[in-house]
Amino acid sequence: MSQALKVALAGLGTVGGGTAALLAEQAELLALRAGRPIELVAAANLEKPKDVPLGKAAFFTDARQMVAETSFDVLVELIGGAQGIALDIAKAALAKGRSVVTANKAMIAHHGVELAALAEANGATLAFEASVGGGIPIIKTLREGLAGNRIRSVMGILNGTCNYILTTMRASGRDFADVLAEAQKLGYAEADPGFDIDGIDTAHKLAILASLAFATPVAIDKVACEGIRHVSALDIQYADELGYRIKLLGVARQTGQGIEQRVYPAMVPLSFPLAHVDGVFNAIVTEGDFVGRSVLEGRGAGARPTASAVVADLVDLARGRSVPAFGVPVTALKTQPAAPNEAHASAYYIRLMVKDQPGVFADIAAALRDEKVSMEQIIQRGRSPGATVPVVMTVHETVEAAMLRALARIGKLAALAEPPRLIRIEAPTA
């Protein structure tokens, strides 16, 4: 059997520990599939964990020292963070001609093109299957499996925390703050959950997918981002009634005005695959010109699924399989214009909390009419003159700029008890 692939592992947290365990437990299987052993020769962490199988690997408390002093073929970076030590050791390894495997979506979203160029210049490989979708092989799918297609769109549920919260809200009828607190107690949400619930995590992953799909440099600064804080139990109840599920989506698509990259809560029809992806699961839908629609679903986080993706990259490297990080050489990535958000066209769900008094509907209808926004349906129940009641409507497809102008006007009406709530309706064609 050929000489072992020597691996240096930085970071022994949830994913790092899972990766070390997988390498130890599946050593025989991996050697068979990789054509040679995959050997953990060094590991770095601030403290040496007792429950992580490191075997004969040298242990370091300083990852920079490990990279500088160890002989290895591949650095597995699982520290995390866009800057700091993770970026430093990735650059150092690539500069030495050593390949890098990482699950670090923030680093790839902000520095992926720079790192890919460094890899190409030094005959190394940058691999990041585990950075998006946990155990779902979406990177390889876009980069290799769909290589014969021009990708029209990529759309997905990319954050398990948000999907868990929205799923639990629907199942229990409870409101956002209550379910978030429960998710934090169960360990599904961080003490500071903003990275997840404000859509930042999804934005990082979407920027990576868009680069792969459209052969363009990663452009995290071009991703419009909206989280789920404003989604209420009432909205989820009405979504059910209207035949939709509310999901936080990352959406990247080619339009006539450029590439659209957006993260937002959306209503998806029950006939669409993403509507039925619940709990902490992720799913991604791609549309290619030859293959049509493809759907991948699975666990988007956790020690074992993410370690599975990390080790898949290691097997490729052991076999000598290497492709450009973003599917084409860095010099072939073409910057494309960003589609203006205000040009987005879709149907919309609108919820208004209004005082039940004469003339309110006429004012609302006038604001929509003047922007050429056409109502599809309207729901109002529990008339109680003078009281505040919910008014829910859906409107036919319209340009977002017009929709927002109409809502700004409606929001100034004295009869409104709170700002209007808008949720986009994503209804992809089959």
Kindly tell me if the per-residue pLDDT of 429 is higher than 80. no
- What CA dihedral angle connects 64, 66, 68 and 71, to 10 degrees? -150
Asked if 70 and 59 count as a contact pair (C-beta separation under 8 A), the reply is no
The CATH number given to whatever domain includes residue 120 is 3.40.50.720
Kindly tell me if the per-residue pLDDT of 336 is higher than 70. yes
- Same-domain pairing of 209 and 249: yes
- Same-domain pairing of 123 and 211: no
- Same-domain pairing of 353 and 412: yes
Q: Is 317 part of a structural domain of the chain?
A: no
CA distance 174 to 412: 30
Q: Calculate the average pLDDT of the chain.
A: 93
Tell me the sheet residues that pair with 281. 299
For residue 47, the one-letter residue type is E
**Helix or strand or coil: residue 263?**
strand
Average pLDDT over residues 3-8: 97
- Same-domain pairing of 237 and 179: yes
**Helix or strand or coil: residue 38?**
strand
- What CA dihedral angle connects 21, 26, 27 and 31, to 10 degrees? -140
> What is the number of domains present in the chain?
3
Kindly tell me if the per-residue pLDDT of 385 is higher than 70. no
- Same-domain pairing of 69 and 104: yes
Would you state the pLDDT for residue 430?
52
The CATH number given to whatever domain includes residue 217 is 3.30.360.10
Of 131, 158, 176, which one is at a domain's C-terminal end?
131
Q: Is 316 part of a structural domain of the chain?
A: no
- Same-domain pairing of 262 and 161: yes
Q: Is 288 part of a structural domain of the chain?
A: yes
Q: Which residue has the tokens 């072992």?
A: 4
Q: Is 333 part of a structural domain of the chain?
A: no
Pairing assessment for the beta strands 281-288 and 151-157 based on DSSP bridges: antiparallel
Would you state the pLDDT for residue 188?
80
Average pLDDT over residues 370-385: 84
Average pLDDT over residues 36-54: 94
Kindly tell me if the per-residue pLDDT of 389 is higher than 90. no
Query: In this predicted model, what pLDDT tens digit does every residue of 215-234 receive, in sequence order?
Result: 999 999 999 999 999 999 99
Distance of CA 175 to the CA centre of its chain: 23
- Same-domain pairing of 155 and 124: no
Average pLDDT over residues 121-135: 96
- Same-domain pairing of 177 and 292: yes
- Same-domain pairing of 115 and 159: no
Q: Is 26 part of a structural domain of the chain?
A: yes
Determine the structural domain holding residue 55 and report its residue range. Answer: 5-131
Query: In this predicted model, what pLDDT tens digit does every residue of 167-196 receive, in sequence order?
Result: 999 999 999 999 999 988 888 888 889 999
Q: Among residues 205, 247, 334, 372, which one is catalytic?
A: 205
Of 131, 162, 181, which one is at a domain's C-terminal end?
131
205 included as an active-site residue: yes
Q: Is 85 part of a structural domain of the chain?
A: yes
